[in-house]
Homo-oligomer: A and B are copies of this chain.
Amino acid sequence: MTQPKSSTKGPRIGRAGMSQQILDAARETLAQDGFAAFGVNAVARAAGCDKQLIYRYFGGLDGLVAAIGETLADRVTDGLTQPDPPPASYAALIEALLRRLFDLLVQDALVRRIAAWELADPSPLTLPLAAARSAGLQQWVADMRGNLAAPAGIDAPAVNALLIGGVQQLALAAAAGQPFAGLVLDPAGTARTQAAIAALVHGVYGSAKN
């Protein structure tokens, strides 16, 4: 009974396979349990391997987070992209961005958890993550903008930052199942949110096709 029937040590899937497995487990752990539960032990458990491999292949948690960050910008851009006609105005562009960002955050737990992480526990670790998320947004805008421009006399970056923050906040609260500022985020509340987005965007940027 003591003889090693099936070898438990030694290479089985190889470095490349195991690295990918660890990376997937890290994403899943972070997406499911948030950054507070995100550690070497938890990831190793989820990956079904020894934590030593995380140090060997990624140089610790830092490297693992950096690896997640490298694919994050594309994940955001892809998550925002849907096949439909290009926006006819700057207002329509921003409205589409906000609506899809809301949907993306509600659906993609990883991106949502990362957003929450940046806010609650900013650290050198989260800086590249924040940059990657921002880059993903900007990439989508660059892809879709065409030659649309914001109306003159309005500080579009500041206005957009505010709106993006609002959407992000509501999406985080929705995922938490908590009402926010008196707004309950059930399906009906979601519809109201989208209508409010439209009202705000067209209120500042105008409904005309500029």
Residues in chain A within 8 A of chain B (CB atoms)? 34-36, 116-122, 127, 130, 134, 137-138, 154-155, 157-170, 172-173, 176-183, 189, 192-193, 195-197, 199-200, 203-204
Contact = CB atoms under 8 A, between A and B. Distances in A.
Given A36-B36, A118-B178, A169-B169, 16 more contacts: A36-B121, A118-B173, A120-B120, A122-B178, A155-B196, A158-B192, A158-B195, A159-B200, A161-B196, A162-B163, A162-B196, A162-B197, A164-B169, A165-B165, A165-B167, A165-B181
A103 to B, nearest CB: 15
B161 A183 contact: yes
Q: Chain A binding site: helix, strand, loop or mixed by DSSP? A: helix
Contacts of A163: 162, 166, 200
Contact of A170 (B35, B121, B137, B161): B161
A158 B172 CA distance: 15
Contacts of A197: 162
Given A163-B166, A204-B199, A177 B122 contact: yes
B178 A161 contact: no
Contacts of A177: 122
A122 B35 CA distance: 13
Contacts of A157: 181-183, 192
A47 to B, nearest CB: 23
Nearest to A168: B169
Nearest to A98: B162
Nearest to A194: B158
Nearest to A166: B166
Contact of A116 (B119, B164, B165, B168): B119
Q: Which 9 A-B pairs have the closest CB atoms?
A: A165-B169, A203-B203, A166-B166, A120-B120, A122-B176, A158-B196, A203-B204, A162-B166, A165-B166
Contact of A176 (B116, B119, B189, B193): B119
